[in-house]
Structure 1
Amino acid sequence: MSTLAVIPARLGATRLPRKPLRLLGGAPLVVRVLERVQSLGLADRVVVATETEEVAEVVAQAGGEALITSAAHPSGTDRVAEVARHPDFLRHDIIVNVQGDEPFMRGDAMAGAIAMVRDHGFDLGTAAGKRTAAIMDDPNCVKVVRDDSGRAMYFSRAPIPFLRDAADAATRDALVFQHMGIYAARREALMKWVSLPPHPLELVEKLEQLRALAAGLAMGVAIVDAPSWGEVNTEDDLVRANAHWDSLQTTGTAR
């Protein structure tokens, strides 16, 4: 099954203006994400999806491939679907959405998401990292609960599973997984996802993956040892990301 990785990179971000072009380790953030995905070697083709020529030109200068997409897309998933529909990309069976603000994406997370679709037969695949119970009260850390087959039962910003009795704390803590923003999808499943109207659960939690779950799409969740470093969404995130980048260069550690 041929795999296409798409990196949605919207210039019009609000929390971090001109986010794809902000510098990480001396290069635009979108280029660092592109380099990361290419280095993992998990996709047959990698393309950046953006709404502006400015980002596309930066990607081209870095030797990458970019496609100009509509500025009206409400989500990165819609932008990814537009790329998948393009005649140049119709041969790819699995479409991977790698967020354009995750320059330190774990390779095992991307591989796991793809395997959920390619090897385990799910419509969609994603990944989650093992974390302590400390994330339970952080609404920015999205929690996921799986069934025995690895299929996602629910995602929430709220503490799930809820701990009713303190005696069950160890059991609960073993079930705590932090969702990571990567999705793999069979082509037909991706197109069904974006054809659906927003679901009330999605609107309440502000989590677009709940639209797919509510429609009955099976999403497998690969579990890795820890989440990726995280997303770059704010000025503070960018400062921390640059510090992390510098530390990796100093120690010679791979991302």
Structure 2
Amino acid sequence: MNEFNVVIPSRLDSKRLPKKALAMINGKPLIRWVYEKAIASDAKIVLIATDSEEIASIAESFGADVEMTSMDHKSGTDRIFEVCKNRNWSDDQVIVNLQGDNPLMPSENINQIAQMMGDCDIATLSVPILDQEIIDPNVVKVLSDSKTNEALFFKRKIDVNHELERLHRHIGIYAYRVAILRKFSLSPQSEDEKKEKLEQLRAYSLNMSIKVEEAESIPGPDVDTPDDLIMVQSILE
């Protein structure tokens, strides 16, 4: 069984929903809901990585381990790599990158993705896609090899000729070892990554394998907009 740490990258600046990490959902800030999902998993360490003193103060008030990071990071992945360096985590340490805007990620999915780290560089999850999501460019699609579970592509828009019955909706949670994270973070963005605005596409330019499994439990929606916040509030009532 893989021992693993969970890092939750969280920043205060958000264009569509200002200060969303601190948005209140039934008496608790969003970031606390995410943290509580993480500590309910089998993780050895759960840590919030942020560049915001305000987030840090609130997170520490509910008992979270917090790492202050640079304000210059372009992505949560870069923020997590700084944590790994600061904490001197070994190259083979398994890290789960749990997005700071998903308060409805089932803890069993966190355990699942950590245990996928056997024969791949990066692990991630997916769920069956709904018909209306196939044509939605805001929904990231993934197609994986039916035998190896290795991701063949991640796309926002797809050709109708693709095997739609095997197409899934990608879930934005990742696991990797520190050595892979270092190589990924220190490498430049790929052209496909820039075009699709999908960070995981950088892995292909680095010849990294991405394993995809169907999530044990379907997670609820991320909180990206005011409407998302209202929806999640109603779910958690």
Q: TM-score range by the shorter chain?
A: over 0.9
Q: 1:176 to 1:225 in 2, by over 3 A?
A: farther
CA distance in 1, matches of 2:113, 2:139: 19
2:177 paired residue number = 186
| Aligned-pair Cα RMSD in Å | 1.7
| Per-residue deviation, residues 143-177 of structure 1 (Å, max 9, x unmatched) | 001122011111000126x337xxxxxxx343121
Residue number in structure 2 paired with 1:68: 68
Q: How many residues align?
A: 235
Aligned residues of 2:142 and 2:170 also touching (Cα < 8 A): yes
3-state DSSP of counterpart to 2:212: strand
Whole-angstrom CA distance in 2 between matches of 1:127 and 1:90: 25
One-letter code aligned to 2:74: P
**SS state at 1:129 partner:** strand
CA distance in structure 2 between the aligned counterparts of 1:241 and 1:158, rounded to whole angstroms: 26
Shift of residue 115, structure 1, vs aligned partner: 2.1
Instruction: Tell me how far 1:217 sits from its aligned partner.
Output: 0.7
**Residue 214 (1) aligns with residue 212 (2):** no
Partner of 2:133: 135
Could you tell me which amino acid in structure 2 is paired with residue 144 of structure 1?
Answer: V
Is 1:198 aligned to residue 189 of structure 2? yes
| 1:111 Cα offset (Å) | 2.6
CA contact (8 A) 1:109 1:128 kept: no
Structure 2 equivalent of residue 16 of structure 1: 17
Residue by residue, what CA displacement relative to the aligned partner does 1:45-66 show, whole Å, maximum 9, x if unpaired? 0000000111111111101111
User: Which protein is richer in helix relative to its size?
Assistant: 1
Corresponding letter in the other structure for 2:54:
E
Q: 1:223 aligned to 2:223?
A: no
- Match for residue 236 of structure 2 among 240, 245, 252: 245
Instruction: Provide the residue aligned with 1:154 in structure 2.
Output: 153
How far off its partner does 1:25 sit?
A: 1.5
* Whole-angstrom distance in 1 between the partners of 2:205 and 2:153: 9
8 Å contact 1:60–1:66 — kept in the other structure? yes
Structure 2 stretches lacking a partner, 5+ long: none
* Cα distance per residue 1:73-93 (max 9 Å; x no partner): 000110111111113544871
Match of 1:249 in 2: none
Residue 236 of structure 2 aligns to a residue whose secondary structure is helix
- Provide the secondary structure at the position in 1 that maps to 2:104: coil
Alpha-carbon separation, structure 2, partners of 1:90 and 1:146: 30
- The answer to whether residue 126 in structure 2 is matched with residue 125 in structure 1 is no
SS at match of 1:56: helix
Report the AA paired with residue 103 of structure 2.
Answer: P
1:252 corresponds to which residue? none
Opposite residue 142 of structure 2, the aligned amino acid is V
Any idea what the Cα deviations from partners look like across 1:104-159, whole Å, max 9, x if unmatched?
Answer: 01234323321221xx3111100001123331101111000112201111100012
TM-score by length of 1: 0.87
Structure (1 or 2) with the larger CA radius of gyration: 1
State how far apart, in whole Å, the 2-side matches of 1:157 and 1:187 are.
28
CA contact (8 A) 2:108 2:216 kept: no
SS at match of 1:174: helix
TM-score by length of 2: 0.93
Aligned-pair identity (%): 33
Q: Indicate if the aligned counterparts of 1:133 and 1:173 stay in contact, CA closer than 8 A.
A: no
Query: Could you tell me whether the CA contact under 8 Å between 2:94 and 2:177 is conserved in 1?
Result: yes
Alignment gaps of 5+ in structure 1: 165-171, 247-255
Asked whether the 8 Å contact 1:112–1:223 carries over to 2, the reply is no
| Match status 1:37 vs 2:28 | no
